[in-house]
Each structure stands twice: as structure tokens, then as C-alpha cells.
Amino acid sequence: MTGEVRGKSLTRQAALLAIILLAGFSAADRADGSRHTVRVTFDYNFGMTPACSEKVTYNCVKQFNVYDISAGVEHRTRLFTIPVDPASKGIVKGITGTSPLLLFAPGKHLISVTAQTPSNQKSAPEACTAWIEVK
């Protein structure tokens, strides 16, 4: 779902403003090889859509959602969320989030980050992605 915020699509914002997405896995349980944490690091420009705060509660970014979209956007799985610092302004580099332990099948996974507003509008999952491989 593509949302419109201040006349600009969140899809376009994510494509232009979520500059870097780095996804990595660290093995947490070597015995079964399927338990991992996902850590993402990306940049975002809050100049077009500000961070939500006590004063700004509409047309703002409430949180970032991290998805596995390997099976297609329609069948995406939300892995975890990243809260937004209400003091964020302008271009913020190095926004980072780490999942709890998650079960993953071996193989390649397409990880995505979206921005979400309080009205549940989300940027396009395809706009900020990275492929990872689980062994």
C-alpha cells in the first residue's frame, strides 16, 4: 500500500531517502542452524515527513517495519519494528534495529524496511531492500 503524506508518496520517499539497507544474520544457535537475529542499518530523511512526537501526531513517521518479502510483497512477513526517535530531524544516518531470535529456512531472503505513519500508511516494501543468505 502506498500512502500519500504532504502530497508526496511514501514510496518515493523510501526509494530516495532510505539510502542504505544493510542486513546481516548472526547465528544464535549453531545446533539447528535456523535461529538467527536480523540487524538492519539504513538512513532516512525526516525533512519531507517528520518523526512523530508529542506535538506532531499526523503525517509523520511513527515507526519502521522490517519484513521478509522473499515470498512476494503480498505474502510478506513482518519480522520486527524499529521505533522512531521523536527528536529525529533531517537526514538521519545509521538508524539500526535488531530482531529477536527468529526461525529462518536456509537460503536467500529479501529483507525490506518500510516507514509507517500513525494512520497505518506504509512506504512501498520494494523501495528499501537487501538480499541476505541463511546457511
Q: Report the 10 Å Cβ neighbour count for 63.
A: 17
Q: Which tens digits make up the pLDDT trace of 59-90?
A: 999 999 999 999 999 999 999 999 999 999 99
- From 39, 44, 43, 40, select the one nearest 10 (Cα to Cα): 44
Q: Helical H runs in the chain?
A: 10-17
Q: The cell 536456509 sits on which residue?
A: 106
Find the helix or strand (DSSP H, E) in which 44 lies: strand 35-45
CATH class label, 4-134: mainly beta
Q: Which tens digits make up the pLDDT trace of 25-48?
A: 443 434 445 899 999 999 999 999
Report the predicted TM-score, pTM, of the whole model to 2 decimal places.
0.76
Number of helices and strands in the chain (H, E): 1, 10
| For the chain, domain boundaries | 4-134
